[in-house]
A and B are shown apart, each in its own frame.
Chain A
Amino acid sequence: MTDPQPQSAVSIRDVVRHFGRFAALRGITADFAPGKLYVLLGENGAGKSTLLRVIAGLLAPSRGSVRVLGSSNIRAVATRFGYMGHAPLLYDEMSALENLDYFAALYGITDRARCEQAIRTVGLDPSLERRVGQYSQGMRQRISLARAIVHSPELLFLDEPFSNVDLRSARQMTTLLAKMRDQGTTIFVVTHQAALMEPVADECIVLDAGRLVAREPGIPARLLSPYSVEERDALRDETLRRDSRENAEASQ
């Protein structure tokens, strides 16, 4: 087994994960340098969320090894990373600040001001008494992000942070992530909205059927659109043909 590069934030070797007979991850090996924003792309079922859960320690790999922040025991570095799941990971019957107070306490943080600051950072008002269950999806995702960063982690995992989120909230979260990356945080984002991440992504990692198939700087154009280049060209030609036909008919 090759040694992980000494400066890697995350190192994975030959990670395999089965669910019964279904292989969700089929042997993934990669090193990730710190201080960058990585975007994980791929079809549904490609294994992006599974990979994130394995790295974050929520799921044990069936085979292979993971090293996070230089340690193979994720528990030892629990205070140094944050995770935002696909589900909100919040209590619906409590307000935003109450939620954050509780989860911050799990990290040993008893300073309320830090919780308020985290809520402000994601663009919401900490004094809002409304229960999180009554929030819009955009607000709920933002509080979920606040929960993930309240303990100022140096490593951040985000699983579909923009699903069903309004554009304004999504852009605001993106700007925040870029700012955190600039301050040295390593960030992994799993998303279907590649276009949103394109301005800020350092690297994109493409998964297909549980394998890592591509790894490129930024997000290349062909990955921004759900269509392949050929399909786009065909669509464009079809549209042009139809337009010219309609023009011809209209002028008759």
Chain B
Amino acid sequence: MKILFKSCLVLTALLLGYGFCQAMYIAPTEATMGDVQRIFYYHLPSAWVAFLLFFINFLASVWYLIRRNVAADALALASAEVGVSFCTIVLITGPIWARPIWGIWWTWDARLTSTLVLWLIYVSYLVLRHYASGGQVPVLAAALGIFGFVDVPIVYMAIRWFRTQHPQPVIGGGQGSGLDPTMWHAVLWNLAAFAMLAFMFVWVRYKQAIVEHELEEAHAQASLDYETEGAQ
């Protein structure tokens, strides 16, 4: 397992490095926006990875409610935390991009707004996990995780319709529109790199959650055994 982990780590580093080259040097400079546009190669993959992670959270939540096992809950927690992190990257890179181009920090464009709502939903998920106590946390969190993900398509539909009614400048010019084919290389390589990075983070966090649980179990077992010795 350790070897596998280390090789994945190396692979991730390589992908990130190559993705960086693609994004910064190989991909052509965008016609209207210039080099600032290159942040797009991190902005878009982050969004997709975050979305994928929230989908994993949904699956893990459902799995937990059916099977009630620790692994499902640990995966739900890990994927939510890493997902929120990547979502934060999207929300930070968006304004960094928008400011030089349009002179404003934030536009309520469809994708950015949807990402903000997604971020809010999963931050509230993490808040619930933090504030609930005891053995109920996994069940309550799983319920909220399912609610949150079910809401996602509705969020996208609502915001997209709202934007068609009340148009505003769009960051990124819509998905894939006006993207030169050579730019797609940079997008895909960075997507692979970020997906691997997310995978590594989730792996570590998942393992950590499992170990935490095992520690609790060990303590509880120890108190059981201690009393046995005391009674004899």
Residues of A within 8 A of B (CB): 16, 18-23, 26-27, 62, 209-211, 213
Stretch at the interface among B18-26, B162-170, B187-195, B223-231: B223-231
| B227 cross-chain contacts in A, Cβ below 8 A | 23, 26, 209-211
Binding site secondary structure of chain B: helix
Q: Which one, A19, A20, A23, contacts B224 given CB within 8 A?
A: A23
Give the distance in Å from the alpha carbon of A27 to the alpha carbon of B227 in the complex.
11
Give the distance in Å from the alpha carbon of A26 to the alpha carbon of B224 in the complex.
6
Cβ-defined contact, A18 with B231, below 8 A? no
Cβ-defined contact, A20 with B231, below 8 A? no
Number of A-B contacts (CB under 8 A): 28
Q: Which one, B134, B135, B223, B231, contacts A211 given CB within 8 A?
A: B231
Q: How far is the CB of A22 from chain B (nearest CB, A)?
A: 7
Q: Is B220 an interface residue (CB 8 A)?
A: yes
| A213 cross-chain contacts in B, Cβ below 8 A | 231
Q: How far is the CB of A184 from chain B (nearest CB, A)?
A: 36
Cβ-defined contact, B223 with A20, below 8 A? no
Residues of B within 8 A of A (CB): 134-135, 216, 219-220, 223-224, 227-228, 231
Cβ-defined contact, B224 with A27, below 8 A? yes
Give the distance in Å from the alpha carbon of A83 to the alpha carbon of B219 in the complex.
32
Cβ-defined contact, A16 with B224, below 8 A? yes
| B219 cross-chain contacts in A, Cβ below 8 A | 21
Give the distance in Å from the alpha carbon of A213 to the alpha carbon of B232 in the complex.
12
Cβ-defined contact, B231 with A23, below 8 A? no
Give 27 pairs: A residue, B residue, CB < 8 Å, sorted on A: A16-B224, A19-B134, A19-B135, A20-B134, A20-B216, A20-B220, A21-B216, A21-B219, A21-B220, A21-B223, A22-B220, A22-B223, A23-B220, A23-B223, A23-B224, A23-B227, A26-B224, A26-B227, A26-B228, A27-B224, A62-B220, A209-B227, A209-B231, A210-B227, A211-B227, A211-B231, A213-B231
- Greatest chain B CB density within 10 A among A16, A18, A27 is at A18
| A210 cross-chain contacts in B, Cβ below 8 A | 227
Give the distance in Å from the alpha carbon of A26 to the alpha carbon of B135 in the complex.
18
- Greatest chain A CB density within 10 A among B134, B220, B227, B228 is at B220
| B135 cross-chain contacts in A, Cβ below 8 A | 19
Q: Which one, A18, A209, A211, contacts B220 given CB within 8 A?
A: A18
| B231 cross-chain contacts in A, Cβ below 8 A | 209, 211, 213
Give the distance in Å from the alpha carbon of A210 to the alpha carbon of B220 in the complex.
13
Smallest CB-CB A-B distances: 8 pairs: A21-B219, A18-B220, A23-B223, A26-B224, A23-B224, A209-B227, A23-B220, A21-B220
Q: How far is the CB of B15 from chain A (nearest CB, A)?
A: 41
| B228 cross-chain contacts in A, Cβ below 8 A | 26
Using CB atoms, name the residue of chain A closest to B221. Answer: A23
Q: How far is the CB of B218 from chain A (nearest CB, A)?
A: 9
Q: How far is the CB of B208 from chain A (nearest CB, A)?
A: 18
Please name 4 further chain A to chain B contacts, defined as beta carbons within 8 Å, in addition to the given A20-B220, A26-B224, sorted by A numbering. A21-B216, A22-B220, A22-B223, A211-B231
| A23 cross-chain contacts in B, Cβ below 8 A | 220, 223-224, 227
Q: How far is the CB of A104 from chain B (nearest CB, A)?
A: 30
